Amino acid sequence: MRKEQSPITHNWHRTALAAVLCLFGFCLIWASAAPKGKKKRQKTDERVYLVHSDELTYDMYGAVPDAQILRGKVHFTHAGAELWCDSAYFFQEANSVEAFGHVHFKQGDTLSLTCKYADYIGAEQMMHARHNVVLKHRTQTLYTDSLDYDRLYDNAYFFEGGRLVDGKDELVSDWGEYNTATRKASFFYSVQMRSGENLINTDSLHYDTRTRIAHVTGPSTITSKGTVINTTDAYTNSKTNMSQLYGRSTIIDGKKTITGDSLFHNDKSKENEGFGNVIYVDSVNKNELHCDHLFYNETTGYGFATKRALMVDYSQKDTLYMHADSVKLYTFNIATDSVYRKVHAYNHVRAYRNDVQAVCDSLVFNSQDSCMTMYRDPILWNLGRQILGEVIHVYMNDSTVRKAEVIGQALSVEKCDEKNHYNQISSKRMDAFFIDGALRRAEAIGTVKSLYYNADSKDSTLSELNYMETDTLRMYMSPTRELEKIWASKATGTMYPITQIPPEKYQLPEFAWFDYVRPKDKDDVFNWRGKAEGTELKEQPRREAPLQRLE
């Protein structure tokens, strides 16, 4: 007998059904109104399909269980790729293939692979190719004997040796990988890269086939036309033949080397630029240039250095250290037996050597005649003697000064003792001649004034002062720096006993002693100390030819 439902129960069921229908309709409306999210991944057919085979056999109990044995013009397809071979084992359930003989794999129009043997796993889209593997991708060709190609990540891994050919660039290594999407390759262990005449030897190299830029990491050597580069971090561009070197690299060009924290080398133009503790060494001429910024052209021999520039010359017995704000190097008759150089140093020049020190605003050194010309308030020190003027020419000979020429407002001062007694000569021009580093003859020309102390022959104490005025004065010194002879033309003078010297006669009007400016050692050349205010040389107007004018 059918049991009747109560009205309450009947109404509740109707209400619940209406609520469910309303909720379902609301969900449909919300789904249609909600913003669309990311597109779903397109479904791809992950099965490996057999397209053709001249012969097919199957024996589930044979030597290769669950394998279809294919022979003759075997052809497979999978996810847009095609595979050909002479024979194969086709594992349909496992969705994989083992291919033998003349294996040819093709993916699109840009990638093809040939080898003698390969196995392909469809689910992983991974191919293991062996024996005489050749992978061609666009303009690049990779040769190896063992290659794993991952289609999911576009990576081809080779081991047991590989060789990549990209136009004129050729790379070999023990192990590496090549990405077909980025077209970048990485090579490791016994890496060599040849590009024209350039050869790179390293253990780690990353190469971009699109830009043809190679990045080496770790100890590396780059050679090209006699130039050798040692670096641990460098980028080389085989298109432009330019290299960017980091990690304290060195460029060796014959007998010249450049070392710096960062170096930029153009192999075509032979231009080099360095930053950070740069050291340029010329082992032939035995000199060095230290700075924080250097530019040098190997072809022209032109160089420019700034930021704590320091010239070091060790071609003689004593080493010369010279600092300036900026240094320029010019080379003449380069690559010949008559090569010589000129060095221009300017602003805050300071030089130190055991036997000679110098200070000036700017300086030019010519290796052809070993002449150093000092400009603008130059001062030269030799042992206890100070020489200054408007311009000073210093001629070097071996490890010593051979000659010094002082032009304009010439002043020579020599300290005689600790009681501030000084021998002094002032004139328009002065020439000093040295033998073995010691002053042997001095010649002053034009408005000459001199103060010279005579010493007692017994105990070398000062006995008298000679004051002289003349037009030309010549002084001859002994090897022990003692005065041997004085020659003067039309001289007038006075001799004062040491105890009767008037106070105003102790110093010439032009007297100046700049011992506080003198460099103390090779490190002191970086510390600029100019003359005290008011002690600079006065401007001397140059004599001009009388001009003739029509009335």
Q: So what's the pLDDT on residue 30?
A: 34
| 96 vs 64: CA distance, rounded Å | 13
What is the mean predicted confidence (pLDDT) over 488-512?
A: 89
Q: How much is the pLDDT for 475? A: 87
Query: What average pLDDT does this structure show over 503-517?
Result: 91
What is the structure's pLDDT at 540?
A: 65
| Predicted pLDDT of residue 543 | 62
The position carrying tokens 């501030």 is 420
Q: What are phi and psi of 270, to 5 degrees?
A: 60, 35
Whole-number pLDDT of residue 399: 59
Give pLDDT, residue 100. 98
Q: What is the pLDDT of residue 191?
A: 97
DSSP assignment, residue 43?
Answer: P
3-state DSSP assignment of residue 375: strand
Work out the average pLDDT over 326-342: 91
Pairwise CA distance, residues 337 & 282, whole Å? 16
User: DSSP character for 19?
Assistant: H
What's the fold here for domain 155-265? lipopolysaccharide transport protein A fold (2.60.450)
CB 477, CB 441: distance < 8 Å: yes
pLDDT at residue number 461: 82
Contact assessment for residue 192 and residue 200, using Cβ atoms and an 8 Å cutoff: yes
Task: Mean pLDDT check: name the lowest of 289-293, 365-369, 470-474.
Answer: 365-369
Mean pLDDT, residues 232-240 taken together: 92
Secondary structure (3-state) at 165: strand
Q: Residues 433-458: what's their mean pLDDT?
A: 86
Q: Characterize 284-318 residue by residue with b for buried, 16 or more Cβ atoms within 10 angstroms of its Cβ, and e for exposed.
A: ebebbbbbbbbbbbbeebebbbbeebbbbbebbee
Residue 139 has pLDDT above 60, yes or no: yes
pLDDT in tens, 65-123: 889 999 999 999 999 999 999 999 999 999 999 999 999 999 999 999 999 999 999 99
Range with lowest mean pLDDT among 131-135, 170-174, 336-340, 529-533: 529-533
pLDDT at 28: 35
Query: Does pLDDT of 26 surpass 50?
Result: no
**Quick one: pLDDT at residue 544?**
67
Using 50, 70 and 90 to split pLDDT, how confident is the model at 541? low
Side chain identity, residue 188: F
Band of pLDDT at residue 302, cut at 50, 70 and 90: very high
Domain 46-137 in this protein, CATH class? mainly beta
pLDDT tens figures, 356-369: 899 999 999 898 88
Taking CA atoms, 495 is separated from 24, 423, 451, 463, 510, in Å, by 129, 14, 10, 11, 20
Would the pLDDT of 504 be above 60?
Answer: yes
Question: Which of 56-65, 472-481, 507-516 ranks highest by mean pLDDT?
Answer: 507-516
d(CA 416, CA 455): 10
Q: Where are the domains of the chain?
A: 46-137, 155-265, 269-355+362-369, 400-526
* Range with lowest mean pLDDT among 2-16, 67-81, 383-397: 2-16
pLDDT tens sequence across 397-410: 765 778 889 999 99
Instruction: Tell whether the model's pLDDT for residue 547 goes beyond 60.
Output: yes
Of 272 and 206, which is predicted with more confidence? Answer: 206
Q: Kind and range of the H or E element at 394?
A: strand 391-397
Q: Name the pLDDT band for 45 (thresholds 50, 70, 90).
A: low
Q: What is the pLDDT of residue 145?
A: 96
186-203, pLDDT tens digit by residue? 999 999 999 988 899 999
Task: Flag whether pLDDT at 37 surpasses 80.
Answer: no
Nearest to 389 by CA among 405, 402, 400, 401: 405
Task: Report which of residues 290 and 226 the model is more confident about.
Answer: 290
Topology match between the domains 46-137 and 155-265: yes
Beta-carbon contacts of residue 78 (< 8 Å; ≥ 6 apart): 47, 48, 49, 120, 122, 125
- Per residue, the 3-state secondary structure of 274-334, as one string, reads EEEEEEEEECCCCEEEEEEEEEEECCCCCEEEEEEEEEEECCCCCCEEEEEEEEEEEEECC
